[in-house]
Amino acid sequence: MGERIDVGDRLISYQDVLRLDTREVPKHISQESRGSFDFDEAPIDIYISREWHEREKQNLWKRVWQLACREEHIPEVGDHYVYEIAGLSYLIVRSAPDEIRAFPNACLHRGRQLKDYAGRCSEIRCPFHAMTWDLDGNLKRIPAPWEFEHIDPERFTLPQVSVGTWAGFVFLNPDPDAEPLSTFLGDLPEHFAKWDFENRYVEVHVSKLLRCNWKVAQEAFMECWHAAATHPQTVPYAAFGVCQVDCYDNFARFITPSEVVGPMMPWDPSTEDMLRATLDVREDEELPVQLEPGETARSFVVRNTREKWRGFLGDKIDEWADCELVDNFTYTVFPNIMPWGGVHKICYRFRPNGDDHRTCIMDVFYIAPFTGERPPPADEVKLGFDDPFSSVSALGIVGNILDQDCFNMEKVQFGLETTAKPTVTFASYQEDNLKWMQRLLRRYVEGR
């Protein structure tokens, strides 16, 4: 049967969850365990107001570190990538083997977008009049230079945007006074050090248009206790409702124990029940795996995952704890990316859909390990509003789960536009990271 130990009336920590029958929920949670958040609600204007969107454009997207691409998108000198956010466009260029630069994607002559899509170039040449800069952004050539004697070539350089890298991800920040990326990330690199994201690659990239504000979409993935209603097929193998939630300066996380019985499970699943749910095997199908004598669902997943990853990491995989092989470590890096830790490959990104505050783009990346030479990054698969994630076979069973999430999002946006209640209300503990998100958002947008 499911791994179970009774628990008395006390606080549940993540370590406790791995030792107990999590259906025994504590009768109270102390204020101390909730963190230091001083509000449990947020105004609905942040999801539906055009004015708030305009303030985000000026005070958030022009001031915060944000994920633009992966280093493998621009591996060679001259490779470039176009990143767009809230009606803004930036050009990221590999200007030297060990140097990446970024510029607003606009010609200094008449403002034409310099690059329309990713590619490789030996110089940055505007398609309109052929004004040209070198890869460092220095002015290289002006056709009909006698027409521009009033221009100082040394001062007619492309303005630079701050660039930083972490774990193979390329970040940019348009704020000329931005703090270094390393300062912004704080202790996050230490959390991910063992998981070696630098030596992974983009195995899958799917982007999808959603009819909701970007925060509505992102917040749907920042807590896990919705799974009992939204993803009932996952309930037999995950302890939803008792995740550990941790909030740091500019990142937060929640940890969902897997292959243990959770408090939102109304019946007692057997080991076979848990594995059928994990592997998506129907009742009328034979379970395609063989358990060792006395093995639980959790120990089975740990054993098999460790051996699978041994092919990528060798004996280094023995340094990983069991929880890193089976549980979900879901991080949020403010404001809009969600890399998963451990053996999980998932990374989400959420952005406004151009200048439309009522629709957004959700990016799903699989950041996967590899052996031998680094594979090229997968091409982006672009899905429209009515194209399901499950239509992309490379996503596997995750595509079906994402479709279940998307089913809620448009309805949430509609409900927020309709409700007479001026706020949304957050749970006392399981949604602490949503409150953390709201606090940082208001700090940037409102200067609180």
Task: Using alpha carbons, select from 264, 251, 184 the residue that is nearest to residue 433.
Answer: 251
State the pLDDT confidence band at 38, using cuts at 50, 70 and 90.
Answer: low
Least confident of 33-37, 160-164, 375-379: 33-37
Indicate if the pLDDT at residue 3 is higher than 50. no
Mean pLDDT, the chain, as a whole number?
A: 89
Cβ proximity of 78 and 94 under 8 Å: yes
pLDDT at residue 52, rounded to an integer? 96
| pLDDT above 90: residue 259 | no
Please state which CATH class domain 14-49+196-446 belongs to: alpha beta
Q: What is the pLDDT of residue 238?
A: 77
pLDDT at 444 exceeding the cut of 60? yes
Q: Where residue 263 falls among pLDDT bands split at 50, 70, 90?
A: confident
pLDDT of residue 48: 97
Would the pLDDT of 28 be above 50? no
Q: What is the pLDDT of residue 396?
A: 93
Return the percentage of the chain with pLDDT > 70, whole number. Answer: 91
- Domain topology for 66-177: Rieske Iron-sulfur Protein (2.102.10)
pLDDT digits (tens, 9 = 90+) for 186-230: 999 999 999 999 999 999 999 999 999 999 999 999 998 887 888
Specify the pLDDT at position 418: 96
Q: Does this model's pTM top 0.75?
A: yes
pLDDT of residue 131: 95
pLDDT at 292 over 90: no
Q: Which strands, in side-by-side order, build the sheet including 139-141? A: 124-125, 132-133, 139-141
The model's pLDDT over 425-441, given as tens digits with 9 standing for 90+, comes to 999 899 999 999 999 99
**CB-count exposure of residue 421 (10 Å: 0-12, 13-18, 19+):** exposed
**Mean pLDDT confidence for 100-127:** 97
Over residues 125-163, the pLDDT tens digits come to: 999 999 999 999 999 999 999 999 999 988 899 999 999
pLDDT at residue 186 in the model: 97
Q: What is the pLDDT of residues 300-324, one digit of tens each?
A: 899 999 999 999 999 999 999 999 9
Burial profile 301-313: b = 16 or more Cβ within 10 angstroms, e = fewer: bbbebbeebeebb
Helices (H) and strands (E) in the chain, counts: 12, 20
Residue 4: pLDDT above 60?
Answer: no
Report in angstroms the alpha-carbon separations of 430 from 224, 245, 255: 8, 7, 11
So where are the chain's domains?
Answer: 14-49+196-446, 66-177
